[in-house]
Amino acid sequence: MSRNDPPKTLYEKIWDDHLVEDLGGGLSLLYIDRHLVHEVTSPQAFDGLRLNHRQPWRLAANLAVPDHNVPTVDRALGIKDPISRAQLEALDANCAEFGITKFELMDRRQGIVHVIGPEQGATLPGMTVVCGDSHTATHGAFGALAFGIGTSEVEHALATQTLVMAKAKTMLIRVNGPVGPGVTAKDITLAIIGRIGTAGGTGHVIEYAGEAIEDLSMEGRMTLCNMAIEGGARAGLVAVDDKTMAYVKGRPFAPKPEHWDAAVAYWSTLKSDPGASFDKVVEIDATSIQPQVSWGTSPEMVLPVSAAVPNPAAEADPVKRSGMEKALKYMGLEAGTPIAQIAIDKVFIGSCTNSRIEDIRAAAAVVKGKKKADSVKLAMVVPGSGLVKEQAEAEGLDKVFLDAGFEWREPGCSMCLAMNADRLEPGERCASTSNRNFEGRQGAGGRTHLVSPAMAAAAGVAGHFVDVRTLS
């Protein structure tokens, strides 16, 4: 930046550095550095390429992995469901035909697309990263502009290495002060959504800042940005700092030594300039954030664990009131019930929100030396990637879970969206570390409560929600 340039936000810097052409009419052609591909949203895009006799623009920009449909047990036996199997086979065939790098199901690097991108160094600061999946926002933790796209845009990105975009507005969420003990990135991100609402960030890119965000590890920042989309924002961002660079260094797709210094010099500029202006600013007091539990069927329906299920009668807005009534009915909850008295049937620790090594460690620390409550039918831990699984096993964490009666599974999306065999039965209630508590998300009729890994583990041991801060 020269001395006379107006101060820019991080979003504006990345946008400007990727602008191929202003198309007029509010649209721009934006260059895409990294395109991650999975089996569910890509087959129709590859069909489109074939139909129009088009080739991928730049093969090296793409990386594919199966994750949404994959089984988490007995993987060597293959996939039983013929339709799921066909979708994985379509990914295999498409990647082979077009020459796209893909991690096989049995590869130790296989995992949830948003876990493996950063793990491989395929996500780098300052990049534009896209994937046919809304939780692409995760990668914003690296100061990358990362957002989910639909299948038509998957095809567009494959064919042209660009997207036609309208520039977003900017929103700064500053989380001031440190969080208390037992309060995690998941609690911060849920508390933010509770505050701004699921449409609060619509049309915006959120930049997260403040002491509580600076204090987070890269894993924590990924959890935070992952749920930007639940706050309505297509992308979340955290400024690059030393932690970012330390995380990236030495990973397989990271810059080679001859480019490292230049990369670091550029990455160091990836923060909002002092005085840069945002369209919206939200200030949050970190010290007031408690461990969170969602009670309804939208991520904004969330409260501290110490609270009670809210009463719709107290809501003045009729549209909101009827939404609350529908949610309580679906969730099978009575207004006024203390959240800590809600009993659960299942525990799911996993998903692109909370399946990285720190998440697994946090859950294991709670479970260690204890047993799953008898009333809990199933508690499953699904690591985010084969490499996370290996690391956890090297630390003996798999044993901790197995000894406690928790299941230790193979990596994938699993019960986050229940496209594979892992799902809730109608009426079952789950403490889940995933990101969406929509009706039917984890299985038709299933009831999801979103929590942090430590809170999910604690609920699995107690049989109901408990405040992790009260555990010895």
Q: Which of 435, 437, 442, 448 binds ligand SF4 (CB under 6 A)?
A: 435
CB of 149 or CB of 364, closer to other proteins = 149
Answer for the pair 43, 94: CB distance below 8 angstroms, yes or no.
Answer: yes
Positive or negative torsion for Cα 344, 349, 350, 351: positive
Q: Which of 15, 33, 103, 366 binds other proteins (CB under 8 A)?
A: 33
- In order of 71, 232, 379, 408, the CA distances from 393 in angstroms are 19, 36, 18, 10
Q: What does the alpha-carbon distance between residue 225 and residue 189 come to, in Å, rounded to a whole number? A: 8
20 binds, among other proteins, ligand SF4, none (CB under 5 to 8 A by kind): other proteins
Residue 263 binding other proteins, by CB under 8 A = yes
418 binds, among ligand SF4, other proteins, none (CB under 5 to 8 A by kind): other proteins
- Residue 352 in marked binding region: yes
Answer for the pair 75, 411: CB distance below 8 angstroms, yes or no.
Answer: no
Single-letter amino acid code for the residue at 351: S
Residue 55 binding other proteins, by CB under 8 A = no
Question: Among the candidate windows 123-131, 219-227, 280-288, 377-385, which touches other proteins by CB under 8 A?
Answer: 123-131
Q: What are the DSSP calls for 79-137, one per residue?
A: --SHHHHHHHHHHHHHHHHHT--B--TTSTT-B-HHHHHHHTT-S-TT-EEEESSGGGG
CB of 198 or CB of 306, closer to ligand SF4 = 198
CB of 290 or CB of 437, closer to other proteins = 437
CB of 234 or CB of 447, closer to other proteins = 234
330 binds, among other proteins, ligand SF4, none (CB under 5 to 8 A by kind): none
Distance of CA 152 to the CA centre of its chain: 22
443 Cβ contact partners less than 8 Å away, ≥ 6 residues apart: 415, 418, 423, 424, 425, 426, 428
Contacts 24+ apart (CB under 8 A), 324-328: 324/296, 326/297, 327/295, 327/296, 327/297, 327/298, 327/301, 328/296
Residue 170 binding ligand SF4, by CB under 6 A = no
- Residue 257 token pair: 């030594």
Q: x/- binding map, residues 94-113, to ligand SF4, per CB under 6 A?
A: ------------------x-
Q: Which of 35, 65, 123, 153 binds other proteins (CB under 8 A)?
A: 153
CB of 148 or CB of 182, closer to ligand SF4 = 148
Across the chain, which distance is largest between two alpha carbons, in Å? Answer: 67
Q: x/- binding map, residues 322-351, to ligand SF4, per CB under 6 A?
A: -----------------------------x
Q: Of 462, 471, 423, which Cα lies nearest the Cα of 343?
A: 462
Answer for the pair 188, 302: CB distance below 8 angstroms, yes or no.
Answer: no
Phi first, then psi: give them for residue 90, nearest 5 degrees.
-65, -40
Q: Of 257, 214, 208, which Cα lies nearest the Cα of 231?
A: 208
- Residue 131 in marked binding region: no
Q: What is the CA radius of gyration of the chain?
A: 22
Residue with token string 């990135």:
185
Residue 98 binding other proteins, by CB under 8 A = no
Q: Of 231, 215, 74, 211, which Cα lies nearest the Cα of 137?
A: 231
Q: Which of 9, 62, 110, 134 binds other proteins (CB under 8 A)?
A: 134
Site for ligand SF4 in 394-433 (CB under 6 A): 413, 416-417
Residue 178 binding other proteins, by CB under 8 A = no
Question: Among the candidate windows 83-91, 237-245, 274-282, 344-352, which touches other proteins by CB under 8 A?
Answer: 83-91
The CA-based dihedral angle spanning residues 185, 188, 190, 191, taken in that order and rounded to the nearest 10 degrees:
170
Residue 156 binding ligand SF4, by CB under 6 A = no
Site for other proteins in 424-453 (CB under 8 A): 436, 438-441, 444
Q: Which of 83, 313, 314, 394 binds other proteins (CB under 8 A)?
A: 83
Q: Residues binding other proteins: what is the number (CB under 8 A)? A: 83
Question: Among the candidate windows 103-111, 129-137, 173-181, 217-225, which touches other proteins by CB under 8 A?
Answer: 129-137
Residue 387 binding ligand SF4, by CB under 6 A = no
Can you tell me whether residue 45 is helix, strand or coil? helix
Cβ 169 to ligand SF4 shortest distance, Å = 25
352 binds, among other proteins, ligand SF4, none (CB under 5 to 8 A by kind): ligand SF4
Question: For every residue of 426-465, which 3-state class applies, written as one string?
Answer: CCCEEEECCCCCCCCCCCCCCEEEECCHHHHHHHHHHCEC
Q: What does the alpha-carbon distance between residue 141 and residue 121 come to, in Å, rounded to a whole number? A: 13
Question: Among the candidate windows 54-62, 207-215, 353-361, 455-463, which touches other proteins by CB under 8 A?
Answer: 54-62
Q: Which of 141, 352, 376, 387 binds ligand SF4 (CB under 6 A)?
A: 352
Answer for the pair 161, 57: CB distance below 8 angstroms, yes or no.
Answer: yes
Can you tell me whether residue 453 is helix, strand or coil? helix
Cross-strand bridge partners of residue 120:
none
Residue 381 binding ligand SF4, by CB under 6 A = no
Q: x/- binding map, residues 311-350, to other proteins, per CB under 8 A?
A: --------xx--x--x------------------------
Q: Which of 133, 398, 410, 428 binds ligand SF4 (CB under 6 A)?
A: 133
Residue positions forming the annotated binding site for [4Fe-4S] cluster: 352, 413, 416
